[in-house]
Amino acid sequence: ANDGYKLWLQYNQLENPSEWQKDCFEQYKINGSSSTLDIIDDEIQKASMGFFQKVANQEQNNPKLIISKISDLDLKKFKLDATKITDLGSEGFFIQELVTDSQDKTTIVAANTDIGLLYGTFHLLQKIQKNEWIPIEGIFQSPKTQHRLLNHWDNLDRTVERGYSGFSIWNWHRLPRHIDQQYIDYARANASIGINGTVLTNVNANSLVLTPEYLEKVKALADTFRPYGIKVYLTARFSSPIEIGGIKTADPLDKEVQNWWNKKAKEVYEYIPDFGGFVVKADSEGQPGPHNYGRTQADGANMLADAVAPFGGIVMWRAFVYSEKTPDDRHKQAFNEFKPLDGTFRENVIVQVKNGAIDFQPREPFHPLFGAMPKTPLMMEFQITQEYLGHDTHLAFLAPMYEEVLKEDTYVNGEGSEVAKTVDGSLHSHKLTAMAGVANIGTDRNWTGHHFHQANWFAYGKLAWDPYETSENIAEDWLKLTFTNNPDFVDPVKEIMLDSREMVVNYMTPLGLHHIMAESHHYGPGPWVTGGSRADWTATYYHQADENGIGFDRTSTGSNALGQYAEEIQTKWGDVNSIPEEHLLWFHHVSWDHQLQNGDNLWNNLAKYYQKGVEEARKNVKIWESLKGKIDDDRHQHVLSFMTIQAEEAEWWRDACLLYFGQFSKMPIPEGVEKPK
Ligand code: GCW
């Protein structure tokens, strides 16, 4: 069995199905015809086979389930109030049980477009799998962000930067002639959670992907994904005009360079008429960019934006720009670079900002750019792949981390200016909205290495669709769709999931510590990492531990990165006694005997957090062992094995960090904490 490959689309047999559940499959009707509607039909068949081991049956005259565009529906017959359905937009849907004059009950899935119907159908099938009803008033949904994208850091040689689940699923060698089933399964999985775009290539980009040889391959993928509502995007290497264009410069203000990009964009759109646009990482970590020519990020972004604008494309320009040559705290660099450019970007540019100012740590305060550029659309970039959270083997359900950042109040327009409101565009009335998630997908049989990391892909999709969704709902849905509705399994495992990210913070980086992972691969502890090629890639730079204390002073007595946030936040976080303790060492350097809210000193608290993380990881193993038999043995065993690794490595983290920091604190390991081995 390889149930892992089926993700959250298991379609497990329904126990005691209701009449309504059966009717939906025994008498269904799909209005119209298109490749997307064929996919819907196929999905209903797949679900029917899984739910009832039976082929589903179309019924033209007396259907019990109708899937139809609103324009093809007899609104009067179903007494449908047209005003309720006008703002569904191009991707929304509604589902309702309606009564006709003859008192027949019919379940309707309706939308303005075929893609809306696909989303609605998946929603209905998920409801059925979870054994839930359609509420009387119906379900009306449309996505709160426009572009919901996966970013693949996949290289053309099929290695994946920060990928831990095998190789890239894009088999460039076999493309375009061979379309692998996995591409189709990938598109289907994404459509089932509302993802509508994919950036195929690494942001550390290779310009070869923009040559005709590769564009043909990209086109084949785009054609495969299109009926699933998924657009293809590429990363654009800034120096492409030099590397594949034979031009001497890539200066964005140079006419020849501009023409080259204009022509290149036109060529791309000849292959892929609905090409989404470009993502660019420039002037960061060795990537070329406008700085090479003394130009601004806006000069670079606007040149590309002009090239794709005639075809409706967008440019996602990353704000992850920092340099070791800038002496300033890395936390401050993106803000300092981008904030002054507010209002100078073209309309089809959106600035892509990581959730935090450093780099996808287990916990980061929200990025100060959110809310700080009212005239520019900003999008959120989350990392789904677990570069800093234990790679493939450590269970960390990331929805609580995403949710935490989305709910943070930026205060830029006073209280209630949550990060989520910059993401959905409502804070500063932007139409262009987006979210990106760095994918954790690879050729592993279960896609993501750890079975539970499928949940992070799922959670990302759900939050991109609705940034106000809760982790708890997401965890519960995912468990039911992926494993079983059995509460004896779902309830305890949901708790494990919801606490898992905090557990990782506890045994890796409690109290606001950050970037103390081992050098370059970032797996395991490495708080001792010093020197190297650059200060901002070394752990000691971030924790600043010495005999006097620990933590990075980012208040006005230090780097004053805190000054990039709103007054309310500066006041609260600027004071060691009022900053949430989870951010303490991110913003303050405090002494080892500094007293925390619980009355105990910093060192003891630190030690106890590490111990707590270890105990949580061990407890998870026990709970999981007790659930044997509640799900298939394959997945049970796989997860158990990974959880055991995690528990061992939580000890590794605790021991390494306490031994290392203990050299400075010179304080004993407190009671209740195991002595490092
Ligand atoms: O998280 C860091 C990674 C790099 C990555 C970079 C980025 C793609 O360590 O591997 O490069 O961020 O986001 O650009």
DSSP conformation letters of 603-625: HHHHHHHHHHHHHHHHHHHHHHH
Q: Which of 364, 387, 616, 651 is catalytic?
A: 387
For the CA of 388, the nearest atom of ligand 1: 1
Residue closest via CA to ligand 1's atom 11 equals: 204
Instruction: Using only the alpha carbons of the chain, give its radius of gyration.
Output: 26
Report pLDDT for 634: 96
Question: Tens digit of pLDDT for each residue in 210-254?
Answer: 999 999 999 999 999 999 999 999 999 999 999 999 999 999 999
Residue with tokens 């193993």: 621
Catalytic residue among 283, 359, 477, 502: 359
Q: Please tell me the distance between residue 360's alpha carbon and the centre of ligand 1 in angstroms.
A: 9
**Domain co-membership, 120 together with 83:** yes
CA-based end-to-end distance of the chain = 40
Asked if pLDDT for residue 85 goes beyond 80, the answer is no
Q: Are 265 and 289 in contact (CB under 8 A)?
A: no
Do 177 and 35 reside in the same domain of the chain? no
- Considering the domain architecture, whether residues 59 and 203 belong to the same structural domain is answered as no
pLDDT in tens, 442-498: 999 999 999 999 999 999 999 999 999 999 999 999 999 999 999 999 999 999 999
Report how far residue 181's alpha carbon sits from residue 175's, in angstroms, rounded to the nearest whole number: 12
593 assigned to some structural domain:
yes
Are residues 458 and 518 both part of a single domain? no
- β-strands 105-111, 65-69: how paired? parallel
Assess whether the C-beta atom of 537 lies below 6 angstroms from ligand 1.
Answer: no
**Site to substitute for ligand 1 among 285, 383, 536, 542, most atoms within 8 A of C-beta:** 285
**β-bridge partners, 595:** 601
Task: Let me know if residue 242 belongs to a domain.
Answer: yes
* Under 8 Å between Cβ of 389 and 396: yes
The continuous run of DSSP H or E covering 574 comes out as none
C-alpha of residue 324 to centroid of ligand 1, in Å: 15
The label of the residue with tokens 């494309």 reads: 313
Q: Indicate whether 247 belongs to any domain.
A: yes
269 burial (CB, 10 Å; 0-12 / 13-18 / 19+) is middle
Q: Which atom of ligand 1 is nearest to the CA of 281?
A: 14
354 vs 382: CA distance, rounded Å: 6
H/E stretch holding 367 reads none
- What CATH number is associated with residue 101? 3.30.379.10
The response to whether residue 259 sits with its C-beta less than 6 Å from ligand 1 reads no
Cα torsion 512, 517, 520, 522 to 10°: value is -100
Q: Is 561 contained in some domain?
A: no
Closest CA to 585 of 568, 573, 597, 571: 573
Strands ordered across the beta sheet of 28-30: 28-30, 65-69, 105-111, 93-99, 139-141
**Residue 303 reports pLDDT greater than 70:** yes
Q: How far apart are CA 4 and CA 6, in angstroms?
A: 5
Together in a domain, 349 and 393: yes
Residue 639 parent element (H or E): helix 633-665
Q: Are residues 537 and 454 in the same domain?
A: no
Q: What is the DSSP letter of 130?
A: T
What separation in Å is there between the alpha carbon of 142 and the centre of ligand 1? 32
CB atoms within 10 A of CB 511: 22
Supply the pLDDT for residue 99.
84
Give the torsion through C-alpha atoms of 110, 112, 115, 120, to 10 deg.
Answer: -20
Asked if residue 322 and residue 195 are part of one domain, the reply reads: yes
Q: Which atom of ligand 1 is nearest to the CA of 284?
A: 14
Q: Are residues 240 and 377 in the same domain?
A: yes
User: Looking at beta carbons, which pairs linking 244-253 to residues 24 or more positions away fall under 8 Å?
Assistant: 244/207, 244/208, 244/210, 244/211, 249/293, 250/288, 250/292, 250/293, 251/293, 251/295, 252/290, 252/293, 252/295, 252/299, 252/300, 252/302, 252/303, 253/293, 253/295, 253/299, 253/303
Distances in Å between the Cα of 80 and the Cα atoms of 29, 70, 89, 94 are 18, 10, 17, 11
Q: Are residues 243 and 133 in the same domain?
A: no
Rounded CA gap, 93 and 112, in Å?
A: 7
Average pLDDT, the chain: 97
Residue where a domain stops, chosen among 141, 172, 193: 141
Q: Is 421 in the pocket of ligand 1 (CB under 6 A)?
A: no
Q: In CATH, what number is assigned to the domain containing residue 643?
A: 3.90.1330.10
Longest dimension (CA), the chain: 82
Can you tell me the distance from the alpha carbon of 421 to that of 88, in angstroms, rounded to the nearest whole number?
20
Residue 597, CA atoms < 13 Å, CB-side half-sphere: 10
- Beta bridge partners, 98, equal 106
- Give the Cβ contact number of residue 163 at 10 Å: 28
DSSP secondary structure code for residue 6 in this structure: G
Residue 47 belongs to domain spanning: 3-141
Is the link from the previous residue into 668 a cis peptide, with omega within 30 of 0?
A: no
Q: What is the CATH number of the domain that holds 266?
A: 3.20.20.80
Q: What are phi and psi of 80, to 5 degrees?
A: -85, 135
324 or 502, greater pLDDT: 502
Specify the amino acid at residue 441.
I
Give 147-199 as a DSSP string: EEEEE--B-TTS-BTT--SSS-S--TTTTTT---HHHHHHHHHHHHTT--EEE
Angle between helices 602-626 and 633-665 (to 10 degrees): 170
Q: Report the C-alpha gap between 306 and 300 in whole angstroms.
A: 10
- 582 included as an active-site residue: no
pLDDT of residue 78: 82
Q: What is the mean pLDDT of residues 381-402?
A: 98
What is the reported pLDDT for 77? 84
438 DSSP β-pair partners: 151, 383
Residue 524 gets the label, from left (phi > 0), alpha (psi -120 to 50) or beta, of left
- The residue written with tokens 């004053």 in the block is 560
Nearest alpha-carbon partner for 73 in 56, 48, 95, 90: 95
What are the strands, taking DSSP E only, across 404-465?
A: 434-438
| Dist. CA 374 → ligand 1 center (Å) | 26
Whole-number Å distance, alpha carbon 297 to ligand 1 midpoint, is: 18
pTM of this structure: 0.98
Q: How far apart are CA 625 and CA 627, in angstroms?
A: 5
Count of domains in the chain?
Answer: 3
Number of CB atoms found within 10 A of residue 558's CB: 16
Last residue of a domain, one of 125, 141, 157: 141
Catalytic residue among 3, 41, 285, 409: 285
The reply to whether 569 falls in a domain is no
Among 636, 645, 617, smallest CA distance to 392 is for 645
User: Where does the pLDDT of residue 327 fall: very low under 50, low under 70, confident under 90, or very high at 90 and above?
Assistant: confident
Mean pLDDT for the stretch of residues 369-374: 98
Task: Kindly state whether residue 670 falls inside one of the protein's structural domains.
Answer: no
What number of other Cβ atoms are within 10 A of residue 79's Cβ?
10
Q: Is residue 573 part of a domain?
A: no
446: tokens are 């279960």
Are residues 154 and 98 part of one domain?
no
Distance CA 357, CA 5 (A): 35
> In whole angstroms, what is the distance from residue 476 CA to residue 470 CA?
10
Question: Is there a single domain that holds both residue 387 and residue 526?
Answer: no
Is residue 536 part of the annotated active site? The answer reads no
Q: Does any ligand 1 atom lie closer than 6 A to the CB of residue 465?
A: no
| 226 and 100 belong to one structural domain | no
Residues in the chain: 677
**320 CA distance to ligand 1 centroid (A)?**
9
Rounded CA gap, 385 and 6, in Å? Answer: 19
Q: Which of 237, 387, 522 to mutate to test the pocket of ligand 1 (most atoms within 8 A of CB)?
A: 387
Q: Which of 96, 113, 141 is the endpoint of a domain? A: 141
Is the shortest distance between the CB of 430 and ligand 1 below 6 Å?
no
- Residue 520 in any domain: the answer is yes
Going by pLDDT thresholds of 50, 70 and 90, the confidence category of residue 1 is: low
Percentage of the chain lying above the pLDDT 70 cut: 100
Q: How many angstroms separate the alpha carbon of residue 204 from the centre of ligand 1?
A: 8
Q: What is the spatial distance between Cα 279 and Cα 275, in angstroms, rounded to a whole number?
A: 12
Q: Which of 120, 25, 117, 36 is nearest to 69 (CA)?
A: 117
Instruction: Report the distance separating Cα 166 and Cα 2, nearest Å.
Output: 16
| Atom number of ligand 1 nearest to Cα 161 | 10
137 assigned to active site: no
Cα–Cα distance measured from residue 7 to residue 127, given in angstroms and rounded to the nearest whole number: 16
CA distances from 147 to 143, 213, 356, 385 (A): 9, 27, 20, 20
Nearest to 17 by CA among 66, 54, 60, 67: 54
| Ligand 1 site, residue 162, Cβ cutoff 6 A | yes
Output the pLDDT for position 659. Answer: 98
* 581 DSSP assignment: G
| 533 has a pLDDT exceeding 90 | no
Task: Please state the atom number of ligand 1 nearest to the C-alpha of residue 203.
Answer: 8
Q: Is the pLDDT of residue 378 over 80?
A: yes
* pLDDT single digits (tens) 36-48: 999 999 999 999 9
